[in-house]
Amino acid sequence: MQPEMQKALILAENINGFIKFVQTQRTKNNFRIENNKLLQIKYLIEEYRFQIVADELIRINQFDWNEKYTLYLVDQFQKGFTIIDEYVKNNYNELFIVTARLHTLKNLCDSFSKIAS
């Protein structure tokens, strides 16, 4: 398996993990995060169709490397991710627990920008 395919699959797994994390925190709310802020992140996840992007990344990179479509999907993900990242930075006191997941996703996306260069 090519390293690029592995990166795409790891990114997809982390996107799925981020989606599940936000949903879990909304229901459990162990850290007493303001529910409205998490709801806003959930809406942004749905608006930018993160689940579809993750599913497509898994589908197209499961057996073969498709650079053009993978980079397109990563670019689509980064558009929504940038908005969520900015929102979390502006509401850091309430959403500090989300920053670790966002940092991981950002580093994975940055590894694809090196491929496109």
CA 68 to chain centre: 19
Question: For residues 110 and 108, what is the distance between their CA atoms, to the nearest angstrom?
Answer: 5
Q: What pLDDT digit, counting tens, does each position of 81-106 carry?
A: 999 999 999 999 988 889 999 999 99
Return the structure tokens found at 80.
């929504």
On whether the CB atoms of residues 51 and 19 are closer than 8 A, the answer is: yes
Containing domain of residue 108, as a range? 3-116
For the chain, percent of residues with pLDDT exceeding 90? 68
> What is the biggest distance separating any 2 CA atoms in the chain, rounded to whole angstroms?
43
Closest listed residue to residue 80, CA positions, set 24, 10, 15? 15
Q: What pLDDT digit, counting tens, does each position of 40-53 carry?
A: 999 999 999 999 99
How many domains, in total, are found in the chain?
A: 1
Q: Is the pLDDT higher at 54 or at 94?
A: 54
pLDDT for 34 equals: 76
